[in-house]
Amino acid sequence: MTDPVSRSLRLDSGTTYMLVATVLAAVAAYLFQLVVGRALGPTDFAPLTVLWTVQFLVSTTVLMPMEQLTVRRLNLDAPGAPPWRLYLSVVAAAALGATVFTAATLDRLFGGEAAYLPVVAALVLLYGGYALGRGYLAGRRRFKEYALCTFSESGLRLALAGVLLAMGVGALGLGWTLVTGSLVVWLWRPLSGERRRAAGATREVGAAAALAGFVAANAAAQSIVAAGPLVVAALGAGPAEVSVFFQTFLLLRAPLTVAYNLVSRIMPPVTRLVEQGETTRIRRLVAGIGAAGAALAAAGFAAGYAVGPALVQLLLGAEYRPGALLAALAASGAILATVALFAQQMLIAMRATGRLAAAWLAGLAAAALSVAIGQAAPSLRVGWAFLIGEVLAFTLLVSAALARRRPRADSS
């Protein structure tokens, strides 16, 4: 019998829209890096790499959990009322934390420009609304609108950057292009009719605990994936080395970038599979994901070593060319991170976010230990830490999903 998850994804035309839009959005994001990176050069581009890293970390650590738990909630038989106060508090705290970080590193990472502070605050606050809006679009199975929103966000950022570069605007002005793309979600009115639907719904029990576990897991996972440029800088690398590391990892984690915009499409059928108690199918899917992840990671290491430096040079210029080993570490770890993103959907659907957090925290601890005891140059130390953390976390994720027999019950 055909697996229900695969059947749902194949028969629903929304999957095609989301896949195409996600690829186009990724292309637009890389064109932004290519155009702006070449126009500014590695040194002047460095503040934008930090802004991009902060936005990426906040989005994937705090905002993606809100989006996916919203999708999951809306696909239950009796969805609870949305925990608006919880979400608003989390977004506000994230914006405050990002602003404090920017203020503390203003001289070292932002050239002493205090004008970057409102950019960071607006970046987090507006993307909080973007994440919740997309959660409602996917949760209500409005996948075409979700796809259009995903592409428009990246496309608008690229178009604005082109206009500002033509006007001679520098890095600070270009930083605002990272903010404006988030506003496109409201063109599709994602919350239309939600006040009426939620009027009779009871409060969802355990929302804070589920979100806390998910945020802890993603905080650890995205620290492994995206904090690399910050760690490389902290280890004493200069702006040019930081930019080379950033561009290499950004380019070679393209599969992961695509996957971030697809997991909300995976969540509805996975939630139904878990709610129906299809233990055998769940275990078969997870085992297949584990085997695929191991094989693809090995192939990615070999491919990254052989062609990674040439690919980066071709797309970004000779000044961004990395060493072969750094490219191999980036490619292999990014593939594992991508496959892990799909493996963890089962644990999220089960609301087993505590186990999810344990796996990623263990991976982060292994990565941190690798950085602490490593003797290589800053970029390679962080590259090895990235791969080691991903290997351990992926192994623990697959083991946890295979071991869990039944979903955690919801209460409303």
Instruction: Look at residue 412 and tell me if it is in a domain.
Output: no
* Whole-number pLDDT of residue 133: 92
What does the longest C-alpha to C-alpha distance in the chain come to?
61
In this predicted model, what pLDDT tens digit does every residue of 290-331 receive, in sequence order?
999 999 999 999 999 999 899 988 887 888 888 899 999 999
* 271/336: higher pLDDT: 336
In this predicted model, what pLDDT tens digit does every residue of 232-246 receive, in sequence order?
888 888 888 888 898
Task: Name the residue range of residue 115's domain.
Answer: 4-403
| List of residues 6+ apart from 169 with CB closer than 8 A | none
In this predicted model, what pLDDT tens digit does every residue of 185-198 receive, in sequence order?
999 988 877 666 65
* Whole-number pLDDT of residue 409: 44
* Whole-number pLDDT of residue 297: 93
The overall average pLDDT reported for the chain is 84
Q: Which of 4-13, 107-116, 377-386 has the lowest mean pLDDT?
A: 4-13
**Dihedral, CA of residue 364, residue 368, residue 374 and residue 379, to nearest 10:** 80
pTM, two decimals, is: 0.75
Q: Which amino acid is at 10?
A: R
User: What is the domain count for the chain?
Assistant: 1
- On the question of pLDDT at 226 being above 80, the answer is no
Q: Which of 35-44, 216-225, 287-296, 338-347 has the lowest mean pLDDT?
A: 35-44
| DSSP-assigned letters across all residues of 76-95 | SSSPPBP-HHHHHHHHHHHH
Instruction: Look at residue 173 and tell me if it is in a domain.
Output: yes
Spatial separation of the C-alpha atoms in residues 331 and 326, rounded to whole Å: 9
